[in-house]
Amino acid sequence: MAIVISILFWGFVMDFEKSLNNIWELYGLKENPFSTSPLLVKGGTIPIDSFVGRIEELKRISRLFGSRGGSRILVYGDVGLGKTTFVNVARYNATKAGFFTPFKEIATQSDWDANSFILNTLSAIYSSIKIVEKKIIDDKIFKKLESVVDFGVIDKSFGIDVAGFGGNYSQTIRNPQVISQYTLQTFFQELVDEIAMKTEKDIIIHYNNLELIPEKKLRTIFENLRDFFQTKNVHFIFVGNLTTHSIIQSMPRLSSIMSDTPIVINELSLKEIEEIISARLKYLRIKDLTYIVPYKKEVLKVLYDLYGGNIRNILNSLSTAVGEITTEKPIIINENDLAIILNSILEKRYLADIQPKAKVVLLEAVKHPEVTNKTLSKNTKIARSNVSTYVSQLQSSGCIYLRRKDGKDKYWAVEPRVKWALLKPKQNDLNQKSLIS
CATH, residue 358: 1.10.10.10
399 plus 356 within the same structural domain = yes
Q: Among candidates 261, 248, 125, which has minimal Cα distance to 196? A: 125
202 plus 247 within the same structural domain = yes
Confidence of residue 383 (pLDDT cuts 50, 70, 90): very high
Burial tier of 287 (Cβ tally within 10 Å: 0-12, 13-18, 19+) = exposed
Confidence of residue 161 (pLDDT cuts 50, 70, 90): very low
Give 23-79 pLDDT, tens digit per residue.
999 999 999 999 998 888 887 778 888 899 999 999 999 999 998 889 999 999 988
Q: Among candidates 94, 101, 90, 27, which has minimal Cα distance to 55? A: 90
217 plus 313 within the same structural domain = no
Q: Percent of the chain scored above 70 by pLDDT?
A: 86
Residue 405 host element (H or E): strand 400-406
How many residues are present in the chain?
Answer: 437
Contact 318, 276 (CB under 8 A): no
* Least confident span in 11-15, 224-228, 345-349, 389-393: 11-15
Cα angle 206, 210, 213; round to 5: 140
Say what the pTM is: 0.80
The residues facing 405 across adjacent strands are: 410
- As a whole number of angstroms, the distance between CA 384 and CA 378 comes to 8
Contact 401, 415 (CB under 8 A): yes
204 plus 324 within the same structural domain = no
Last residue of a domain, one of 222, 249, 264: 264
The residues facing 264 across adjacent strands are: 76
332 plus 408 within the same structural domain = yes
| CATH number (domain holding residue 188) | 3.40.50
Give 242-295 pLDDT, tens digit per residue.
888 888 888 888 888 888 889 999 999 999 999 999 999 999 999 988 999 999
Residue 231 lies in a domain: yes
Residue 387 lies in a domain: yes
290 plus 256 within the same structural domain = no
SS3 223: helix
Last residue of a domain, one of 199, 230, 264: 264
Burial tier of 282 (Cβ tally within 10 Å: 0-12, 13-18, 19+) = exposed
87 plus 233 within the same structural domain = yes
Last residue of a domain, one of 217, 248, 264: 264
Residue 26 lies in a domain: no
SS3 38: coil
- As a whole number of angstroms, the distance between CA 56 and CA 379 comes to 41
302 plus 343 within the same structural domain = yes
In 65-140, DSSP assigns E strands to 70-76, 106-107
- As a whole number of angstroms, the distance between CA 321 and CA 342 comes to 6
248 plus 275 within the same structural domain = no
Residue 426 has what pLDDT? 81
Print the domain residue range for 404: 270-434
Contact 430, 286 (CB under 8 A): no
Domain count, the chain: 2
277 plus 220 within the same structural domain = no
Confidence of residue 137 (pLDDT cuts 50, 70, 90): confident
Residue 401 host element (H or E): strand 400-406
CA atoms within 13 A on the CB side of 269: 7
- As a whole number of angstroms, the distance between CA 425 and CA 434 comes to 15
If phi > 0 it is left, if psi is from -120 to 50 it is alpha, else beta; for residue 75 that is beta
- Residue 176, pLDDT > 50, answer no
313 plus 202 within the same structural domain = no
Between the ranges 6-10, 106-110, 269-273, 365-369, where is the mean pLDDT highest?
269-273
In the predicted model, what is the mean pLDDT of residues 80-94? Answer: 94
Residue 106 has what pLDDT? 94
Q: Which amino acid is at 434?
A: S
- As a whole number of angstroms, the distance between CA 310 and CA 269 comes to 10
- As a whole number of angstroms, the distance between CA 185 and CA 359 comes to 52
Residue 52 has what pLDDT? 92
